[in-house]
Chains A and B, each alone.
Chain A
Amino acid sequence: MLTLRNVSAGYGAFQALFDVSLEVHAGEAIAVIGPNGAGKTSLLRAISKVIDVTAGEIEMEGVPLSGVPPHKVIELGIAHVPEHRRLFPGLTVEENLKMGAYLPSARHLFRERLAYAYELFPRMKERRNQLAGTLSGGEQQMCAIGRGLMSGPKILLLDEPSAGLAPVIVQQVLDLVRRIREEGYTVLIVEQNIQQVLRVVDRAYLLDVGRIRMSGPAAELLENEDVRRAYVGL
C-alpha cells in the first residue's frame, strides 16, 4: 500500500533520513522503532510532505507523492496523527474531530464517522463540548487518533502516541492502537516504547541515526539480543 524506496530527507542542510526503504501492506500494523533522534518523526513527516524528500521515492497505492502538495496527501488516504498530538486547544473536542473531516469528500460522512469515533472512544462523547486544551494527556491522544480517523483514511500514521504519558496510560494507548488495527485500518506507528509497541504490531523496522538497521516480524525483533541490549536496556 505504502512504499518508500531509498528515501533521503531532511530540514534544510540537516539530513535526517538516509536511503530508507520500507513497505506497508494493506491491513498490516507496522512499527518503526528506535532511540530518540533516530529520525522516526522525520520519516512520517517525509511521507506527509511536511519536510523535503531529497532523494528516493514514496508511493501510496502506486501514486508517487513527489508532485503532491502537503495538504493533498490526506486525499490519498493517509492520515497523520502528529507528535505531541497537536490538537487545537481552543476548539472543542467535537470541533477538533470536525477539522479531521475537513476534506470535501469527508464532510458528508461527518455524522456517521462522528458516531463511529464516539463509539470507539465513549470518553470523547462525554467531553464533546469541552475545549481540547483542557483534556488529560490520554484523552488528548484519543481525540487526536479520532481526528485522524475522521477523514476515513486507508492508512493511519501515528507519531509517538505514548510520548509524555504516564506508564499506565501508555498501555491504554497501545491497546487503542491494537483496537484500531482490529477495526481494519492499516497502521504505521513510530515509537520509543519498543517493548510495548512490538506486542501490538506485525512487523517492525529499527531506525538508528536516519538509517534502517534491521527489520522483521515483531516477535523476532522482540527476541533479538542486539535489540534488547542496545535499545530496550534489558
Chain B
Amino acid sequence: MEFSITDPFLWETVIQGLLFGGVLALLSLGLNLVFGVIDVVWICYAEVVMIAMYSVWWFHVVLGLPLLVAMAGGIGVGAVLGTILHYVVIRPILDTPPINQLLVTGGVLFFLQGAATLVFSVDFRTLGVSLGSVSVGDMFFPWNRIAAFVTSLVTVAAIWLFLKRTYLGAAIRAISMDREVMPLMGVNPARIYLLTSALGGALAGLAACLLALLYDIHPAIGLSFGPLTFMVCVLGGLGNMFGGFVAAFIFAQFIALGGYYTEVEWGYVIAFAFFIVMMFVRPQGILGARN
C-alpha cells in the first residue's frame, strides 16, 4: 500500500490506535499500581476485569438496572475482588519467594475462568449498548471508543493527582520505597496494601465497564487482552505508571498501523515482535530505571 499523509484511512487508523491506546493505558493502570506498591504481579488481573464485565452485563441486562448504575456496580465488584484477592491469596504469601505469587495468582486465573464458565456458560454476552458514531470527513469513530478514551485519560489524571496530592497517595508511593519505616510515620502498612488492592480492583472494574462497551463478554476474554496488558506494563517499566501510559499508546499504534499496512492479525505479530526486541534493548522498560 502506498504511503500518503493525506490518506483519510491512514488518519482514521492512527486515531483508532490512539483511542485503543487510551483503553490499554487504563487497563495497565491497576496492574501497575498493585505491582508498584505491593511488588506482586496479579497474573489473574485480566480475569478480574472479565468478572467485572460479567457483573456489568448482569446488573444491566439481567437485572435491568440503568447502565451507569450497572457500571458503578461493576467497579464495586472489581474493588471487592481486589480486596479478597489480597486478603485471601496474596497476604499469606507476601514474604515467600516471588514465584509463589505468580503460581497462586495464576491459579486464581483458572479458578475465575472456570467459575465464569460454570455460572455464565460459554455463550457470548453483549451489553447491546450502541452510542452511534461521529464522522469527520470520510472518517468514522464510534462514540463507545471515544467515551472509553476520554474516561481513560480522566482516570489516569485523577489517579496521578491522588498519588501526588493526598496523604494516602503519598503513603502509597512511599511504601513502595521503604515498607519497614512506614509504622514510624504512623502508617499501618497492612491497611495501605488493602486499600491499594481495592483501588487496583476498582480500576480493573472501570476498565471492564469500558471494555464491555466495545467487546462481547465470554469466559476466556481475559486471555485476549491479559497478555497485552502485561506487555504494556513491562514495556513501560513494571510498576512505573507513567511509563505504562506512554507504552500503551506506542503499543496501540504498532497494532493499528501494523494492521493497516498488512492485516489485523499481523498488527499484533508486529507489536509483539517489537516487544521482544525492546526486552533485549531496554529490559527495564522504556522509562524504567536500571535496577
User: A interface vs B, CB < 8 Å?
Assistant: 48-50, 69-75, 79-80, 82, 86, 88-91, 95, 98-103, 106-107, 147, 151
State how many residues of chain B have any CB contact under 8 Å with chain A: 17
Q: Which B residues touch A48, using CB under 8 A?
A: 183-184
Within 8 Å by CB of A91, from B173, B180, B184, B188, lies B173
Say whether A74 contacts B177, CB under 8 Å. no
Q: Which B residues touch A71, using CB under 8 A?
A: 182-183, 185-189
Instruction: Confirm or deny: B256 has a beta carbon within 8 angstroms of a beta carbon on chain A.
Output: no
Say whether A98 contacts B170, CB under 8 Å. yes
Nearest CB of chain A from residue B240's CB, rounded to whole Å: 11
- CB nearest to A90 among chain B residues: B177
Given known pairs A71-B183, A88-B177, A90-B177, the reply for A102 and B167 (CB within 8 Å) is yes
Within 8 Å by CB of A89, from B171, B177, B186, B189, lies B177
Give A64 to B234 CA distance when docked, in angstroms: 48
Give A49 to B188 CA distance when docked, in angstroms: 13
Say whether A88 contacts B174, CB under 8 Å. yes
Nearest CB of chain B from residue A227's CB, rounded to whole Å: 31
Say whether B174 contacts A70, CB under 8 Å. no
Give A101 to B186 CA distance when docked, in angstroms: 9
- CB nearest to B168 among chain A residues: A102
- CB nearest to A105 among chain B residues: B186
Interface membership of chain B positions 153-182, coded 1 if the CB is closer than 8 angstroms to chain A and 0 otherwise: 000000000000001001101100110111
- CB nearest to B190 among chain A residues: A71
- Which of A48, A86, A99, A147 is the most central at the interface, judged by chain B CB atoms within 10 Å of its CB? A99
A-B contact pairs, 10 of them (CB 8 A): A70-B183, A70-B184, A71-B186, A74-B185, A80-B184, A88-B173, A90-B173, A91-B170, A95-B173, A95-B174
Give A212 to B128 CA distance when docked, in angstroms: 76
Give A75 to B180 CA distance when docked, in angstroms: 18
New A-B contacts (13) at CB < 8 Å, excluding given A50-B183, A71-B187, A82-B181: A48-B184, A69-B183, A69-B188, A71-B188, A71-B189, A72-B186, A80-B184, A91-B173, A91-B177, A101-B167, A102-B167, A102-B170, A107-B167
